[in-house]
Structure 1
Amino acid sequence: MNARTALLSAGYGIRCAGRAEAGAVAALLARAFADDPVMAWLVPGPADREQRMARWFRCAQRQQRPRTGGVRVAATGDGRLLGAALWSAPGRWRTSAVRELAAMPSYVRVFGPGGLGRAAEVQNTMHEAHPDVPHWYLPTLGCDPVVQGAGVGSALVRQQLAACDRLGQPAYLESSKATNVPFYEGLGFRVTGEIRLPGDGPTLWPMWREADPATGSATGSAAGAPPPYGG
């Protein structure tokens, strides 16, 4: 039995991440984004990129923590993390100026003093393209490379989309890889354009999903409730 089969055969469930898991979530997301074009562009230098990316994802989690259910994980019964998703509820996607200021030392360690300007430009560009209509926002989704393609990521997304359908609320994300667009299209998202990052940076594909009332009415569990452990 290989590692992938062993992990999946144990079954997994989706739940909110505990604060004590922040480091494990950050390490998992750093591995998941190892070949991400935007992260590679923002965090050059392969020698310490994974370490710096992990620091970035710890910071991203801190920004999400005030939001109920902001950090969710797919995990086996014994606590092994298989995937993670960061979600922001309608009207809660923008980080406050106070939290941005508090995070500045972490940003310097991630991007370096010379890279802060580029990171700020990227953030501003993405904010300008962000929809004004209230929606659920998925800024980050990643799975352990060992289980990528096994349905863990789609399970993480579908858990919230089921709640969106029940509540009649849309969802939004930006795909940083063209190869990931069909994955999100399979979950009901559609590409609404392109976001070209400044300074000859990579392209992002903003994607929008309207709620499906027919699907929502057929699902009876409480909004946002994680499913039980199971394969």
Structure 2
Amino acid sequence: MSTRPAPRLAGYGIRCARPAESGAVAGLLARAFADDPVLAWMVPAADRERRIARYFRLAQRRQRPRARAVRVAATGEGRLLAAALWSGPGRWKPSPLQDLASLPRYAGVFGLRGMTRAGEVQNAMHEAHPRTPHWYLPSVGTDRELQGMGVGSALLRQQLADCDRFGQSVYLESSKDTNVPFYEGLGFRVTGEIRIPGGGPTLWPMWRDPRR
């Protein structure tokens, strides 16, 4: 997600994604994460964008039983501009049964080598994940041609305002150091580093206390 200043984009609203939009949400996030270092480390280069889109379809399946879990910025005509996946307090970690049931699908995304790397990423992220109750933001992305126009921050600010109102903290991991200032502008602070074993990329865990 770009942090460069740019004019605001008008003519869109923030809402929950509809189930029929799961493919469009996955495609948008695949384009937004095309150069993400963590996904690039896990997902084979061959047919990477399609594989990443499949990954985000699976990610949405985990979120969708939960209220307000997939939120989008969209025009009145239904064009999706940005999307965010949210997990409420106590719901960020899938159960062992969910992990086991989803293994074949994730194997189709990552391949044999990528599955090993994905496991290393998951283990490192779970180990660093805070136990204090919080909302978790695993993924947010803006369509590439609209990055830097304020859509992503508008999408996040709505949920962050709700968290402030109810006194709830928020946690995320930034997979790019260049995105850290963007999140800092929304009230997050870096709490450390997550280094992936085996020469993998670094992530920056970030925490946001509720604002009064």
Q: TM-score range by the shorter chain?
A: over 0.9
Distance 1:38 1:117 in 2: 13
Task: Name the counterpart of 2:207.
Answer: 208
Secondary structure of 1:57's aligned partner: helix
Name the stretch that deviates more: 107-116 or 96-105. Answer: 96-105
**1:17-53 CA-partner distances (Å, limit 9, x unpaired):** 11110000000000000111111111131x4000000
- Pairing 1:21-32 to 2, within 5 Å after superposition: 21-32=21-32
Distance 1:140 1:130 in 2: 15
Task: Name the counterpart of 1:126.
Answer: 125
- Pairing 1:154-193 to 2, within 5 Å after superposition: 154-193=153-192
Distance 2:195 2:35 in 1: 19
User: How high is the TM-score relative to the length of structure 2?
Assistant: 0.94
Indicate if the aligned counterparts of 2:44 and 2:111 stay in contact, CA closer than 8 A: no
Task: Name the counterpart of 1:117.
Answer: 116
Aligned structure 1 segments of 4 or more residues deviating by more than 6 angstroms: none
Give unmatched runs, 5+ long, in structure 2.
1-7
Secondary structure of 2:160's aligned partner: helix
One-letter amino acid of the structure 1 residue matched with residue 13 of structure 2: G
Give unmatched runs, 5+ long, in structure 1.
1-6, 214-231
Distance 2:67 2:28 in 1: 21
Secondary structure of 1:103's aligned partner: helix
* Count, aligned residues: 206
Task: Name the counterpart of 1:20.
Answer: 20
2:65 matches 1:52? no
Deviation at 1:115, TM superposition (A): 2.0
Secondary structure of 2:54's aligned partner: helix
Distance 2:97 2:108 in 1: 19
Distance 1:86 1:58 in 2: 11
**1:81-119 CA-partner distances (Å, limit 9, x unpaired):** 000000011111011222222211210111112321211
Distance 2:80 2:101 in 1: 28
Distance 1:17 1:42 in 2: 27
Distance 1:42 1:115 in 2: 5
Task: Name the counterpart of 1:35.
Answer: 35
Task: Name the counterpart of 2:197.
Answer: 198
Deviation at 1:182, TM superposition (A): 0.2
Distance 2:56 2:124 in 1: 20
Task: Name the counterpart of 1:218.
Answer: none
Distance 2:95 2:12 in 1: 34
Higher radius of gyration, 1 or 2: 1
One-letter amino acid of the structure 2 residue matched with residue 20 of structure 1: A
**1:135-187 CA-partner distances (Å, limit 9, x unpaired):** 01000000100110000110111111100100001100000000000000000
Secondary structure of 1:66's aligned partner: coil
